[in-house]
Amino acid sequence: MINLSVLIASHNGANVLPKVLEGYVQSAKNETNWQLIIVDNCSDDSTSKLIEKYQPLLPIIHLHEPRPGKNVALNTGLRHVAGDFVVISDDDAIPEPGFIDAWRTAAETQSDIDVFGGTIRPEFEVLPPEWMLEGELKFEELYAQRKNLAAGRIAPSGIFGPNMAVRRRVFAAGIRFNEDIGPNHNIKQYSMGSETEFCEHAAACGFTTGFNPLPEVRHIVRAHQVSPEFWSARAYRLGRGVAKREQLLGRNAPKHFGKARRLGRAYLGNLKLTNLKHTTPASHPARNFLAEWDYNFQRGYISELMALNANQPKHVHSKLQLLNRFVSTLRASKLF
């Protein structure tokens, strides 16, 4: 009888899936009563052939979802889950030895937890610059790093997609992944944070969130993900995602427009910090990175607010447009 399911969605994962599937072969050598559900989400590479290659070696259920979107694919996979405990991971997350057993143990020993996060360590194809490695700057936001955390309760926002698990009773309550947020190969600047939205939704419905450090994955970081272009785009998508999730939780309704005013005051109050482009940028790469990150995050946040409030009264949208122009002016003046 299957008591544990692993669910992965993949879009064009041919470059990373071999390492991931080999990791499952090695980590689950003596495991039984589990299934690995892989949903091919509109891939046009050799993803399907790779999955078929590993079917004799792993208890794989191979599905196809033609509609774009990671969350669409995950929701499709959930309809085929047989286990009472569902591990959700990514097509670029390599499980460490004992991964399946570690999650089984977590399910048994932490019976008070409904939604879990596990350890995630980045595995770089190309190392980031030394100044970034030294402080692991924004590694959680950029590379979903989760490490050195103790077992126990954790905030919903502390659970990341490459390594999480959910008791089936959460899905039985009707909670699903929001298909309007998260990775979508048809939307370049998508709103990021789909797993966080799921965990916050579950917590709002009374389910508990926690962490167990023993199940570990190595999250593959590709060469293009160690570049200023990727960092900026990631910060922008995160800003959009935060605004989207706050809207879903009712935290940024137009009647509460103090948030937009606070953003404006924050920019003014932090000009000394962000006025780095006027000084010696080459000698302060970490500070410049953080200023650039903050700028792109806030730009994404405001952009999403504008989109969410496009149909609101004119005075509401005008405030957002004014704030957006304010941010752009700071950027053009090299104050960011």
- Give the separation between CA 89 and CA 227, rounded to whole angstroms: 24
Q: Which numeric CATH code is attached to 4-225?
A: 3.90.550.10
pLDDT for 22-55, tens place per residue? 999 999 888 899 999 999 999 999 999 999 999 9
Asked whether the whole model's pTM tops 0.85, one would answer yes
- Tell me the CA distances in angstroms from 140 to 157, 158, 159, 164, one per residue in order: 11, 9, 10, 15
Q: Are strands 85-90 and 4-10 parallel, antiparallel or unpaired?
A: parallel
- Give the separation between CA 294 and CA 278, rounded to whole angstroms: 17
Phi and psi, residue 103, nearest 5°: -70, -35
Question: Where in the chain are all domains bearing CATH 3.90.550.10?
Answer: 4-225
Return all residues near 241 (Cβ < 8 A) that are at least 6 apart.
181, 191, 192, 193, 194, 196, 197, 300, 304
Residue stretches of the chain with pLDDT short of 50 = 254-257, 261-262, 264-266, 268-280, 332-336
Four-CA torsion 303, 91, 93, 72, nearest 10 degrees: 50
pLDDT for 229-258, tens place per residue? 999 999 999 999 998 998 887 765 544 445
Exposure letters 259-283 (e unless 16+ CB within 10 A, then b): ebeebeeebeeeeeebebeeeeeee
Exposed, middle or buried: residue 310 (CB in 10 Å: 0-12, 13-18, 19+)?
exposed
- Give the separation between CA 177 and CA 132, rounded to whole angstroms: 33
pLDDT computed for residue 256 by the predictor? 43
